[in-house]
Amino acid sequence: MNKLNATLFATFICISPFVYAQAVSASSLTQHPLQESLQASSPAPQLIAPPRDPTLHRHFGFFLRPDLGVGYMATSEPTGTALGDMTVSGLAGVFGFAIGGAIQENVILAAHVYDGVIVNPTVSLSSGQSATASNASLTMVGIGPEFTYYWMPSNVYFSGTLALTRISLTANGTDTSSNVGFGMRLAVGKEWWVSDHWGLGLAGHATSSWNQDSGGGNQPTLTTWAFAIAFSATYN
């Protein structure tokens, strides 16, 4: 009996480490109920989308708009003789550049520079004579504040500029200019968004200018009108 007890005891001592290792291994594969509960209650991580630009396709902040087009321009001046008024006219290229900012949404104030240029204009008199002036060009330039208002969401706008203006004539290498006068440019246009902040558009212009001819004394006043269609690119 003692020998049997001794044998059983020795066997128990030999197998105990193996049994213990198996128990530890099994327990490591089984999660504690508390761990399972914590994992079940933890939300899965989610991707957060970046915030949307609040000024997207809206007229806020910095404003920039160049435009380029073509139209008709004419400058008239009384001659004070039986010949009547003299008019210089022709197909004109027009350009404008406005830079400024929104004082509130859809309301823009900007500085505006613009011009109209005729190359080889037609010179005509009220009495009926006319001729083409070769190697000549007539230029009108204006600069002043511009107001623009957009109707949204159609993106249709109205712009008006009050400007200081000057008329210049170049003929056969000789330049003559009027005195500084006053003028305006009015525009109605429509734009289409082509990116987050850029829009491309089409506008109709009407431009006027009144300038006294240069020289001393009581010089006549030159009256200028221009009508044009222009393409524009606006950043806002």
Q: Which residue in 228, 216, 139, 133 sits closest to 176, CA to CA?
A: 139
pTM, two decimals, is: 0.75
Q: Give the pairing type, strands 130-132 and 85-104.
A: unpaired
Residue entry with tokens 């006319």: 130
Domain boundaries, the chain: 2-41, 62-235
| Residue 167: predicted pLDDT | 96
Q: What are phi and psi of 22, to 5 degrees?
A: -65, -40
Q: Which residue in 153, 194, 196, 199 sits closest to 52, CA to CA?
A: 196
Residue entry with tokens 């524009």: 232
H or E segment at 90? strand 85-104
What is the C-alpha to C-alpha distance for residues 182 and 169, in angstroms, rounded to an integer? 18
| Residue 144: predicted pLDDT | 98
| Residue 46: predicted pLDDT | 63
Residue 142 structure tokens: 């204006």
| Residue 2 DSSP SS3 | helix
The domain 62-235 having CATH identifier 2.40.160.20: the answer here is yes
DSSP, res 128? S
pLDDT tens readout for residues 13-41: 444 454 444 444 444 444 555 455 545 55
| Residue 5: predicted pLDDT | 45
pLDDT tens readout for residues 55-87: 788 999 999 999 999 999 999 999 877 778 899
| Residue 81: predicted pLDDT | 79
